[in-house]
Structure 1
């Protein structure tokens, strides 16, 4: 095979591998963006973020915070909101007492200062509902609101999941690490493969 033909074949391989790498990056970016759920009620919007990485684990401390914004994008700090957070195990019936009622505190997160946040320890794996309600401390700064967010809690460390059942009394058969780990592993494997083929293509050219 002539050097010129090998060169063009190597160039085509590199283009294909670059396309695959951009596809992997876009998939991981989609996952990251979708982790922050935003809802709107009346003239208030709320974005929920749960640490760590929107992948909370049962029995381990978790910080949840709510980026509250009024119409126009101005943030609503906790000092301006008479807010209340309650946590229910899903499914739950109307009138059922809340499983948890964490105390809210002002937190600084990303570009927000003093927004409502809470430290939560989910007792078991499963699906929970976080219900945040609030009304303005001062008159007519925003309308009263209520938001409901669903959060999936996975099993904690291996030593904490022996004979554990989830919040709906379903036995846990193993460690459920959520979607974050499989996507990360896939990105690493594909990235390593792409790097290997790029090196081989350069050597052959």
Structure 2
């Protein structure tokens, strides 16, 4: 019986795409690393304010508070051309999150669902010792409940490569076909286990 439950669990995970939640996103340079976390649960939603924070550390693990970093956060809709101005430039503020105190954070409202690039640039303030850095993070924004009104230029930039069909989601027939295929695979595996 436990074999059947295990197979059923694997099947359900396969069918519904249940995967372990992704952890915070970590990027490093020669002597600076930063862990990005977006609340809630690293899943921002379009039109809803979310808090992003960066746990900045020097090589060796010592925390770099915002007071020691002249940091700037730039947000681009993906894809974007080199030299294109950022879509958003949220102001970084000193926050405390988890075990980190005084780290850079910002409240962000992504205008539309889709892919974005967060670019964190920083250089040491007087008295701090680390090399200037630039860290890039790719973030996927889900559909939200409160869509923000956009200027035509912002709407064009965010949606320039998205067609109407791409935004409609997965058709019901594709979900049903995947379900039938998955059930067929499950039945095949169960029959093979029973024969052995």
Q: Is the TM-score greater than 0.5?
A: yes
Report the CA distance between 1:168 and its aligned residue: 2.6
Q: Give the equivalent residue in structure 2 for 1:167.
A: 158
Aligned length: 157
Q: Does 1:154 align with 2:149?
A: no
Matches within 5 A, 1:1-205: 13=1, 17=5, 31-32=20-21, 34-139=22-127, 141-157=129-145, 160=147, 167-169=158-160, 170=162, 171=164, 172-173=167-168
CA change 1:74–1:57 in 2 (3 A) is same
> Runs in 1 of length 4+ with deviation above 6 angstroms?
18-21
TM-score (norm 2): 0.69
Q: Give the equivalent residue in structure 2 for 1:180.
A: none
Report the CA distance between 1:110 and its aligned residue: 1.1
Distance 1:151 1:141 in 2: 29
TM-score (norm 1): 0.66
SS of aligned partner of 1:167: helix
Distance 1:112 1:67 in 2: 7
**1:132 and 1:148 in contact (8 A); partners too:** yes
CA change 1:42–1:87 in 2 (3 A) is same
| Structure of greater Rg | 1
**2:77 and 2:157 in contact (8 A); partners too:** no
